[in-house]
Amino acid sequence: MSGVGFVEPAAEPHPAVLAGGAALLRPLLEAALAALEDGVARRGGPVPSGEPGELAELVRATLGEALPATGTGAVAALEQLTRLLAYGSADPADPACAAHLHCPPLAVAVAAEMAAAALNPSLDSWDQAPAATALEDEVVRGLAGLVGFDPDRAAGVVTCGGTESNLMGLLLARDAAVRRETGLDPALEGLPVVACRLRVYASEAAHFSVQRNAALLGLGETAVVPVPVDARHRMDPAALERALDTGGGVSMAIVATAGTTDFGSVDPLPEIADLARRHGAWLHVDAAYGGGALFSSRLAGLLDGIAAADSVALDLHKLGWQPVAAGVFLAREAAAMAPLARRVAYLNPADDEAAGYVSLLGRSLRTTRRADVFKIAVTLRALGREGLGRLVDACHDLARHAADRIAAHPRLELAAEPVLTTVVFRYLPTTGDPDRVNAALRRRLLRAGRAVVGRTELGGAEPGGRVRLKLTLLNPHATRADVDALLAAVVAAGVEEDR
């Protein structure tokens, strides 16, 4: 019989191989579940207590050699390392784990991930992923519609995350600008001298991957012109206009952010789109975080204007509750992605494509590519836009509650009203240096295994100190009482450090 997509070594000491079906996978999944429960119970909190070096030592001691000559057998290895991973995780399902855009995944998405892993489709050719190829097209259409693109004109691809999606946007922008300015194809010829004059405009609060990707693309980080932000950490359109007018060079792209990592701020998209159009610059909207607001009827209006973007980054492993990775890159016009197309004899020969065996190879920068689309498809179908919107709203409510509590607390200082689901604040020490105390109290909470709180730094001159704490509230099941307890723990740790 045809298997369900996996082979299995028999028990030690000489692993043989048995093709098998669900009957073979079931006991291994059960072993993993039991080890998960055991590891979580041993942890007993959001993160293991102790110094980081102690945990690393435990990992080394448990593992011995990572690649031993002979194996221990499947069940023993799975149980031992799953218990270790569960114990040694910062667990986003615990309400006291609220540092990053690091969500507790939906159980249905985890189960879907398992199914996709068992079947192991790869989206670089039709004959490695017949159904998944068609499924990705449909999911991209659905998400294109969500951002307001015309699904019949748009195109897109599932990515590793916002960083890869932002890279794709900048790559398409770079090559379009070079072709326009020189008539040359940069994919073939490389960057001509004009590339030294390509400029990318992004706000000071944009994600660091904009700079990083500019370096990767050969533009250099200095090609990115940081545009000042307003008091609410949003790109200032007047400042952008001045920068575009005086920046010199070729205005290659504007990267607007819909949901900054720290404050959740959304740049003024309509004004930026207007400037992009007037200056002939590609508009990429990094909505890796804020894109999730589109699920919520209450918050979707924050992203008005996103449909004018040339390209958009979404991350469903943030406000979409997917296990990593579930990034999405969308282009308003499918034609804009055409330069990514590649013809490869072993993957997408022309006569096969003519016969209907379509390939997504030319949509992605990767070759082998897992079907992350599957868990996304299952989740969208299971919850619908309303169901996801309800989760977004719940997290937004938690953030507003946290902000109220912080504003009301004499020893806490709120940095800004929450926009999406983050709250930036700090503990106000009575005597100690605020930056030192806040950094130290966060590590104290980690060491105690008590809480995982985020931290960041404000930009610009901050005479009173730049370090801030951050709650990124992505657990829609957390309660207000959980948030209160978390803030109480922060204050208690602050008191300990403020001596």
Least distance (Å) between residue 61 CB and a second copy: 11
Binding to a second copy (CB under 8 A) within 473-492 occurs at: 475-477
Q: Using the rule CB under 8 A, is 282 a contact of a second copy?
A: no
Radius of gyration of the chain (CA): 24
Judged by CB under 8 A, does residue 14 bind a second copy?
Answer: yes
Site residues for a second copy, 74-103, by CB under 8 A, read: 74-78, 80-82, 84-94, 99-103
Does residue 405 interact with a second copy by CB under 8 A?
no
Backbone φ and ψ of 371, nearest 5°: -85, 65
> Which 251-270 residues touch a second copy, going by CB under 8 A?
261-262
C-alpha separations of 322 from 9, 15, 161, 342, 397 in Å? 30, 34, 11, 30, 21
317 binds a second copy (CB under 8 A): yes
- Of 5 and 228, which has the nearer Cβ to a second copy? 5
In whole angstroms, how close is the CB of 182 to a second copy at the nearest point?
Answer: 12
Cα angle 385, 391, 396; round to 5? 120
Is residue 61 involved in binding a second copy (CB under 8 A)? no
Q: Which two tokens stand for residue 343?
A: 């013809």
Residue 418 binds a second copy, judged by CB under 8 A: no
**CB nearer to a second copy: pick between 126 and 273:** 126
Does the footprint of a second copy cover residue 203 (CB under 8 A)? no
Binders of a second copy among residues 365 to 384 (CB under 8 A) are 365-371, 374, 377-384
**Contact between 218 and a second copy per CB under 8 A:** yes
Q: How far is the CB of 33 from a second copy (least distance, A)?
A: 4
The CA distances from residue 127 to 84, 349, 352, in Å, are 37, 12, 10
Q: Which is nearer to a second copy, 412 or 424 (CB)?
A: 424
Between 271 and 397, CB nearer to a second copy: 397
Shortest Å distance, C-beta 408 to a second copy: 26
Say which amino acid occupies 225: V
Query: What string of DSSP letters covers 303-349?
Result: GTTGGG-SEEEEETTSTT-PPS--EEEEESSGGGGGGG----TTT--
Q: How far is CA 217 from CA 15, 366, 440, in A?
A: 45, 16, 38
CB of 288 to a second copy, least distance (A): 9
Q: Is the peptide bond before 13 cis (omega within 30 degrees of 0)?
A: yes
Find the binder of a second copy among 202, 293, 316, 452 (CB under 8 A).
Answer: 452
Q: Taking CB under 8 A as the rule, does residue 314 contact a second copy?
A: no
Residue 35 engages a second copy in binding (rule: CB under 8 A): yes
Q: How far is the CB of 277 from a second copy (least distance, A)?
A: 26
Query: Is the link from the previous residue into 231 a cis peptide, with omega within 30 of 0?
Result: no
CB neighbour list of residue 292: distance below 8 Å, 6 or more residues apart? 259, 314, 316, 318, 319, 320, 388, 392, 420
Is residue 302 within 8 Å of 419, Cβ to Cβ? yes
- Output 60 or 277, the one with its CB closest to a second copy: 60
